A and B are shown apart, each in its own frame.
Chain A
Amino acid sequence: MRAILVAIFAATGLFLGACSTTSEDPQGASVESRKPGAGTDAQKPRVATVDLTNKPGGASLSPLKDPANILSKRSIYYDFDRFDVKDEYRPLVEAHAKYLRENPGTKMLIQGNTDERGSREYNVALGQRRADGVKRMLMLLGAKDAQIEAVSLGEEKPKSEGNNEQSWAQNRRSDMLYGGEF
């Protein structure tokens, strides 16, 4: 109980002190009015937080990580031997295009992937075609060429290791990654 009271006092003191400081004298002359030895906690210099996490283009891009935000979704899946972005992924690509448009300093890496069947090198080229397709769509929606690098991982980085259609479907995929994520 006592601890709580002390805390409340301290917080109130800080609040009051802060108010008096800013309202009375922006030049900082209020330091003079402090009474030495009284309410030392309250008189500790305050720390102003600079929050970059909500700022687009910052080190941490919270809308991109917020599970409730469509921007946190990054993968586009394909049918066998297909490269076109299916209609169901259109809102996803549109959201990322808008994000890139509104944040022109942001860079994206698109990694195209294929299932394991066939030649490794030919699959690198097929994965590239998938990644190129997503990039083209993002650019048609206003993103800039310089913001996006489309590359291929071919069949080399499967999300699912199985030798069956269920696994292959997971691996026919393009992933959109932002700077700092790869």
Chain B
Amino acid sequence: MSPSRFAPFRWLASAAALLAGLLGAIPAHAQLSIEITGAGAQRIPVAIVPFAGEPAIGGLTQVIRADLERSGLFRTLEVPPLSPSPTERSEVNFAEWRARLADALLVGSVAARPDGRFEARFKLYDIVQQRDLSGIAFTLSKDQARATAHRIADFVYEKLIGEKGVFSTRIAYVVKRGNRYELQIADADGFGPETALASFEPIISPAWSPDGRRLAYVSFENKKPVVYVHSLVDGKRHVAANFRGSNSAPAWSPDGKTLVVSLSREGGSQLFVLNPDGSGVRRLTSSAAIDTEPRYSPDGQWIYFTSDRGGSPQIYRMPAGGGTPQRVTFEGSYNVSPRISPDGRHLAYIARNGGRFQVALLDLNNRQVQILTDSDRDESPSFAPNGRMILLATVINERGVLSAVSTDGRIKQRLTTGGGDVREPAWGPFIE
């Protein structure tokens, strides 16, 4: 990995900080900065020509470049200044781009519209196959430049990788600074954090509703764990579960109509389903053991959960309507925090190996287990909606940080913030 590959990120980070300072758009809290600590074995070389006219909206291609690099699946090529600089309307000289070792080429332009808005157009080419992979035109205002760049990066990613990109998605996480806790929402690249909830008591277990509009989470503001549902756009929140005892570990059904939670109201910690408004509570498990950390499978048929009914905490699954649980994990004496991949084929969880807590990935078909991380205090894994990366919380130099690892274990990123501990990440769904 050459040092030059880091340069765009440093530039981006300082530019972002400068922008934030100038516009005052971002409150005092620092945003996450992402450092790539491991990349894919084969990265597609992509040439991205700066879009004609893009300075008028603060630029698009720097963001597109950073997105693609961060994914670990692309290598963006240095493009020398060209005259005339090609746009989406130019004829493409495939041989010339091939000589520059590009497998793909992105060209485009930004033009002002009479209504004060802008139009961004681009085209993607497969240089090897000499094919036009088409493009899209976006109408945008200046403050939508980053969002538009993420959309373009998603387009490139999907055309060249064959699965949806996650550059337009958002992540939720909790920052603890001193005795202050903030539930924050940021773009997947860590940009533009916004605080959904600030509290002097802990906040844990944020869970996105399938439509990405609401978060369920556990807040200790009443000196005990209580489950809330929080609408992000207007900040309206309501109690979903505040029964006698502890109320914790919320998860949404894929249709967004049901929450499954762990409640101690009838003794112990047992699984219950309820409507997101708190009505219709129904008990799902009846064990003398701990049953917690429930998660629906993406098809809604199963609930995976952590239970110590066998003597040590292990992952089980049962039919979503309740029924006899089957044990899923067998290796080791501490396997917790189950998360099913979006395609339903893999189970990510936290395994204790010796004294280390690490992210493990179980292939549900062939039962192979792979340890994905080399850190030792991992918690709260969360799949990207395309299933490629897993976001997790860990501790490095006694500070809580987020990191991300690809499901093949090759690509690694670390996300840190200016101050405080970052924890409890949850990757949001695709935004349509």
User: A residues bordering B, Cβ < 8 Å?
Assistant: 109, 111, 117-122, 124-129, 132, 149-154, 156-157, 163, 182
CB distance from A152 to the nearest CB of B (A): 5
Of all chain B residues, which has the CB nearest A177?
A: B223
The answer to whether A119 and B293 touch across the interface, beta carbons within 8 angstroms, is yes
A107 to B204: give the CA distance in the assembly, Å.
27
The answer to whether B336 and A128 touch across the interface, beta carbons within 8 angstroms, is no
The answer to whether A119 and B202 touch across the interface, beta carbons within 8 angstroms, is no
Q: Which of B328-366 contact A (CB under 8 A)?
A: 334, 336-337, 350, 352, 357
Contact of B379 among A111, A119, A126 (CB under 8 A): A119
Of all chain B residues, which has the CB nearest A117?
A: B357
A-B contact count, CB below 8 Å? 98
Query: A residues within 8 A CB of B313?
Result: 122
The answer to whether A157 and B246 touch across the interface, beta carbons within 8 angstroms, is no
Judge if B253 is at the interface, Cβ distance under 8 Å.
no
Contact of B205 among A120, A127, A163 (CB under 8 A): A120
The answer to whether B225 and A124 touch across the interface, beta carbons within 8 angstroms, is yes
The answer to whether A128 and B245 touch across the interface, beta carbons within 8 angstroms, is yes
Of all chain B residues, which has the CB nearest A181?
A: B223
A125 to B292: give the CA distance in the assembly, Å.
7
A128 to B218: give the CA distance in the assembly, Å.
15
Q: Which of B205-233 contact A (CB under 8 A)?
A: 205, 218, 220, 223-225
Judge if B306 is at the interface, Cβ distance under 8 Å.
yes
CB distance from A60 to the nearest CB of B (A): 20
Contact of A129 among B248, B268, B337, B352 (CB under 8 A): B268
Known: A122-B313, A153-B224, A154-B225. A128 touches B246 (CB 8 A): yes
Query: B residues within 8 A CB of A119?
Result: 293, 306, 336-337, 350, 379-380
A132 to B270: give the CA distance in the assembly, Å.
13
The answer to whether A118 and B268 touch across the interface, beta carbons within 8 angstroms, is no
CB distance from B166 to the nearest CB of A (A): 25
Of all chain B residues, which has the CB nearest A182?
A: B223
Ordered by A's residue number, 29 sampled pairs between the chains whose C-beta atoms are within 8 Å are A111-B224, A118-B334, A118-B336, A118-B352, A118-B357, A119-B293, A119-B337, A120-B424, A121-B204, A121-B337, A122-B290, A122-B292, A122-B313, A124-B218, A124-B292, A125-B269, A128-B245, A128-B246, A128-B268, A150-B264, A151-B223, A151-B224, A151-B245, A151-B264, A152-B225, A153-B224, A153-B225, A154-B225, A157-B202
Pick the most buried of B218, B264, B306, B313: most chain A CB atoms within 10 A of its CB: B264
The answer to whether B223 and A122 touch across the interface, beta carbons within 8 angstroms, is no
Judge if B244 is at the interface, Cβ distance under 8 Å.
yes
Judge if B262 is at the interface, Cβ distance under 8 Å.
yes
Query: A residues within 8 A CB of B334?
Result: 118
The answer to whether B246 and A126 touch across the interface, beta carbons within 8 angstroms, is no
Judge if B234 is at the interface, Cβ distance under 8 Å.
no
The answer to whether B337 and A122 touch across the interface, beta carbons within 8 angstroms, is yes
The 7 closest A-B pairs by CB, nearest first: A151-B224, A156-B202, A125-B269, A125-B290, A119-B336, A125-B292, A121-B249
Q: Number of contacting residues on B, CB 8 A?
A: 33
Query: B residues within 8 A CB of A126?
Result: 290
A44 to B401: give the CA distance in the assembly, Å.
69
The answer to whether B336 and A122 touch across the interface, beta carbons within 8 angstroms, is yes
CB distance from B72 to the nearest CB of A (A): 27
CB distance from B128 to the nearest CB of A (A): 46
Contact of B223 among A111, A121, A163 (CB under 8 A): A111
Known: A151-B246, A153-B220, A153-B224. A121 touches B292 (CB 8 A): yes
A119-B379, A121-B337, A152-B225 given. 16 additional CB < 8 A pairs? A111-B224, A119-B336, A119-B350, A121-B205, A122-B292, A122-B293, A124-B225, A124-B246, A124-B292, A125-B262, A125-B269, A132-B268, A150-B245, A151-B246, A153-B220, A156-B220
Known: A121-B293, A149-B244, A182-B223. A128 touches B352 (CB 8 A): no
Query: A residues within 8 A CB of B224?
Result: 109, 111, 149, 151-153
Query: B residues within 8 A CB of A154?
Result: 204, 225
Pick the most buried of B223, B246, B352: most chain A CB atoms within 10 A of its CB: B246
Contact of A124 among B223, B244, B269, B337 (CB under 8 A): B269
Of all chain A residues, which has the CB nearest B377?
A: A117
A156 to B379: give the CA distance in the assembly, Å.
14
CB distance from A4 to the nearest CB of B (A): 52
Judge if B267 is at the interface, Cβ distance under 8 Å.
yes
Query: B residues within 8 A CB of A151?
Result: 223-225, 245-246, 264
The answer to whether B293 and A152 touch across the interface, beta carbons within 8 angstroms, is no
A149 to B246: give the CA distance in the assembly, Å.
9
CB distance from B274 to the nearest CB of A (A): 17
A125 to B357: give the CA distance in the assembly, Å.
18
Of all chain A residues, which has the CB nearest B313?
A: A122
Query: A residues within 8 A CB of B290?
Result: 122, 125-126, 128-129
The answer to whether A149 and B245 touch across the interface, beta carbons within 8 angstroms, is yes
Query: B residues within 8 A CB of A109?
Result: 223-224
CB distance from A83 to the nearest CB of B (A): 10
Judge if B398 is at the interface, Cβ distance under 8 Å.
yes
A158 to B424: give the CA distance in the assembly, Å.
17
CB distance from A88 to the nearest CB of B (A): 26
